[in-house]
Structure 1
Amino acid sequence: MITRSAISTIALAAMATATAAQAAPTAPDAGEAQFRSIYKELVETNTTVSSGSCTLAAERMAAHLKAAGYADSQLTLFSTPEHPKDGGLVAVLPGTSKTAKPILLLAHLDVVEAKRADWERDPFTLIEEGGYFYGRGTADDKSMAAIWVDTMARLKAGKPLKRTVKMALTCGEETTWAFNGAQWLAQNKRDLIDAEFALNEGGGGDTDGKGLSEGGKLVNQSIQVGEKAVQNYRLETRNPGGHSSIPVPENAIYELADALARLRDHEFPTEMSDTTRAFFAKAGAARGDAMGKAMQALASNPIGSPAFAEAEKLVNTDRTYHSKLRTTCVATLLDGGHANNALPQRAGANVNCRIFPGHSVEEIQTALQKVVADPGVTVSLVPPQRPLAKAPALDPKIVGPMEKLSAQYFPAVPVVPDMSTGATDGIFLEAVGIPTYGVPGPWGNPDGNGVHGLNERIEVKSLLTGRAYLYDLVNAYAR
């Protein structure tokens, strides 16, 4: 899952100079009760990889759309024999235009594991308390999945659309190593999900630390435009070993440790894209401090210039901004040796890389080999291998409606284009030529609202306002 922690620091700093506003109030509509029912059923359907079923969740969402008038031919439930519980759903609402390409609404059904003993509330029971919905997946990503199902039902009940609208609910975003439905669709059912562009998770708003129902304010909305690619590599050393009573300098663990120390001290080259330049320019302008000025200097000066180099020194002190400027690789797991009284015959480490768009996993593998600078240390790819990250264009035809609606729903709240340092399923669509954008709308607090952790939650007002915003956004593209 992609979080928005990458812009949380902006959210807090922007308070000093940006005029933040409450979200525009939205009147309840007749369909809100039905939406809440969809959302509740989805959250209360366990979709963890260990004991849940995305296939069941997809079937339940298909039943809602069939009740809304969708024909069987417009609903495609899919799974594979090897992964019968990791299924998904594609729904298609045809438009009247013969020339306008479809748009695709993407969300994932699977959730991160949640142990009841660790939670204050049952993670698979939707609980509304203190202005928040609690439960695993309430934010990531069943909020968006429920909004898309609700949107598709509402569109079906309305006037015919000019543009075809498609929806794909998939499994495996949290566990790509097991099975990823978005990747499977991209590789096996490309025509089914063909679209001019897709709307996905990864964007959204940040508060000043409190929900709007608690007296807090929105300080930004973001549009995710591109992301880094995630790839794991294994560094490994081997040695004949021997008895620990007669050690020798050629020790597998020491050799690996030396290699990891070189990796620790290595800085990948600074890079900028159209998205990150726009991010640093707009996010920097929202601040009134030295960091904000440095961010703007990055956006307005070429890499390598004295002004850029001076600004980068300060910007690099923020771990999130530092990551936005380059590929990063970090050791995350270690293993080595086979006995307390024996010299190690093998030592290994997992290195997790977040690759700046435009670089292949093989290119970074070669770079790591150069950093390690030791033929005794092998660097190998760890499956699965994700595709090359491709950032979509900051297309005014796509970004413009998001900004226009954001100004209506969230007056005076800046809209910031952002490249995620994490990962979403959008990378699989980008790989087959479907530009994918993380949408504004729903918001969260800078603490992450328990996403991937304990007591996951989303503010009720965030969910309902996001529902209204995203419905209007889809209409803006489709009519």
Structure 2
Amino acid sequence: MRRIAAGLVGLAALMGAGGAMAQGARPDQLAFREIYKELVETNTTLSAGSCTEAAAKMGARLKAAGFADADIHLLTPADHPKEGSLVAVLKGSNPKAGAVLLLGHLDVVEARREDWTRDPFVLVEEDGYFYGRGTADMKGLDAIWVDTLIRLKQAKTPPKRTLKMALTCGEETAEAFNGANWHVQNHRELIAADFVLNEGGGGRLKADGTRDLLSVQVGEKAAQNYKLTVTNPGGHSSRPRPDNAIYQLAEALLKVRAHVFPTMLTETTRIGFEARAKHDDAVGRALKRLLADPADLEAARVASTDVNVNSILHTNCVTTRLDAGHANNALPQRATAVVNCRIIPGETVEGTRETLEKVIGDPQVKVETIPPVRPIAVSPPLDPAVVGPMRALAEKHFPGVALIPSMSSGATDGRYFGPAKIPVYGVPGIFGDPDGNGAHGLNERIRVRSLYDGRDYLFDLVKVYVGAK
């Protein structure tokens, strides 16, 4: 879930202005485009798609590029035949140098053809954009990882450090199955690395389309769902009674909507908010006050009017699903809702559930934590050996654009690597539109030039990490 839905400091994977049409692309970009096209046009939704098919296609590309069968691992859980994954290994010349893991998810959010302007599973290049489900979240980065392995494999000199890639399934529907978690629990040696490069970072455009900021993700909020339930004897609709399950649930949800969790500043968000506070506008001035006094409720209210700031200022809970009643002519016997919470580091899943109960203040509204309870992401250190090359190459590829650490408001598969004590960084490099590029929504898109520019930056970055020429 990419993260494209990140906060101002937890930036989405965003992109730069301009657009290069296919006919103006370099030969190496056209080769990359074919990988990208194959991924986008392979349906990997939970309902009708197959990550296993997409993983096999990428494995075939690696084999054609010279990878040995022993270095291509197509893994599929027996009870999830369509949710397979691909792990590939490019061995370094120095076995003592450790490894770097490129992580991506193959699955995408559902997309209905009747709702979209274009077929969501056909890559369309139009007016400087690539359109299609997964173009931004996150098959562009998946294609960059595959392309990077192929280019390094075909180089004359192998890298000094081992490079691994894991393309897994289930990031968007972790409640059904999550491949990254499955690998950490069952194939840890295969994906072991000194650090992981993942989605979650990116860049942001200004309103005029020029590049504003780059972000490296060094932390994320925890996603957790809660089920609210009200039950009632019900009865005939001709004999209404005051204790209606739907009304009772609706009142509880309005209380959830009105509640504002307290401001929680982390080391990462402080750095980002300090940058945003330099803007001489209402939000910038409010953030300046809030940095001095996190308990300033009025400053928090004004700062939260920026949806990006609000998304990482504190824990957020929002109702996402409703289900009630059993017949048009009957009083409801049951009403349920799902509340999705994005929990800020420092708070807990159970503590958030208790807060919801307290806010609702009605013992007849049952609040349950919906499994699975996901691990809380561990924020990695701002390691100069990792962040330094990101900053140096950003100066080369995107001169004058500041690089800042970020905390993502959206969850990624990075959270599953905490138990393995492997730090995860969301990479910068791909800039995007302020509206989030339609990720998880209709007519998802990404600018052609942005994807190509991000590919160039990320290839150079990986080369530095693995000591490739």
TM-score (norm 2): 0.89
Partner of 2:312: 324
* Aligned partners of 2:7 and 2:408 also within 8 Å: no
The one-character-per-residue Cα deviations of 1:52-79 (angstroms, maximum 9, x if unpaired) are 2211111111111112221111111011
* Aligned partners of 1:133 and 1:458 also within 8 Å: yes
> How do residues 107-118 of structure 1 correspond to structure 2 at under 5 angstroms?
107-118=104-115
How many Å apart are 1:117 and its aligned residue? 3.2
Find the partner of 1:469 among 445, 448, 457: 457
How many Å apart are 1:350 and its aligned residue? 1.3
The one-character-per-residue Cα deviations of 1:254-280 (angstroms, maximum 9, x if unpaired) are 433343333233222221111111110
Cα RMSD between the aligned structures?
A: 2.6
Find the partner of 1:289 among 277, 281, 296: 281
User: Structure 2: where are the runs of 5+ without partners?
Assistant: none
> How do residues 362-381 of structure 1 correspond to structure 2 at under 5 angstroms?
362-381=350-369
SS, match of residue 329 in structure 1: strand
Partner of 2:266: 273
> Would the alpha carbon gap of residues 418 and 102 (structure 1) be closer, same or farther in structure 2, given more than 3 Å must change?
same
* Aligned partners of 1:204 and 1:443 also within 8 Å: yes
Q: Which amino acid aligns with 2:222?
A: A
SS, match of residue 118 in structure 1: coil
How many Å apart are 1:99 and its aligned residue? 3.8
* Aligned partners of 1:359 and 1:388 also within 8 Å: no
The one-character-per-residue Cα deviations of 1:110-169 (angstroms, maximum 9, x if unpaired) are 122233333333322222222222222222211101100111112222323222111001
Partner of 2:404: 416
Taking the aligned partners of 1:120 and 1:374, their CA distance within structure 2 comes to 45
Taking the aligned partners of 1:381 and 1:278, their CA distance within structure 2 comes to 33
Q: Which amino acid aligns with 1:148?
A: W
Partner of 1:188: 186
1:458 aligns with 2:446: yes
> Would the alpha carbon gap of residues 342 and 435 (structure 1) be closer, same or farther in structure 2, given more than 3 Å must change?
same
1:169 aligns with 2:167: yes
Taking the aligned partners of 2:54 and 2:62, their CA distance within structure 1 comes to 13
Taking the aligned partners of 1:134 and 1:421, their CA distance within structure 2 comes to 24
Find the partner of 2:150 among 132, 148, 153: 153
* Aligned partners of 2:246 and 2:332 also within 8 Å: yes
Taking the aligned partners of 1:8 and 1:419, their CA distance within structure 2 comes to 9
> How do residues 75-474 of structure 1 correspond to structure 2 at under 5 angstroms?
75-158=72-155, 159-209=157-207, 216-244=209-237, 247-285=240-278, 287-299=279-291, 301=292, 303-304=294-295, 308=296, 311-474=299-462
> Would the alpha carbon gap of residues 194 and 146 (structure 1) be closer, same or farther in structure 2, given more than 3 Å must change?
same
Return 365-374 or 64-73, whichever deviates more. 365-374
How many Å apart are 1:248 and its aligned residue? 4.7
TM-score (norm 1): 0.88
User: Structure 1: where are the runs of 5+ without partners?
Assistant: 12-19, 211-215
Taking the aligned partners of 2:126 and 2:309, their CA distance within structure 1 comes to 35
Number of residue pairs the alignment of both structures matches: 458
* Aligned partners of 2:90 and 2:163 also within 8 Å: yes
How many Å apart are 1:319 and its aligned residue? 3.0
> Would the alpha carbon gap of residues 346 and 46 (structure 1) be closer, same or farther in structure 2, given more than 3 Å must change?
closer
SS, match of residue 117 in structure 1: coil
Partner of 2:2: 2
Taking the aligned partners of 1:253 and 1:456, their CA distance within structure 2 comes to 35
Find the partner of 2:39 among 31, 39, 42: 42
How many Å apart are 1:30 and its aligned residue? 5.4
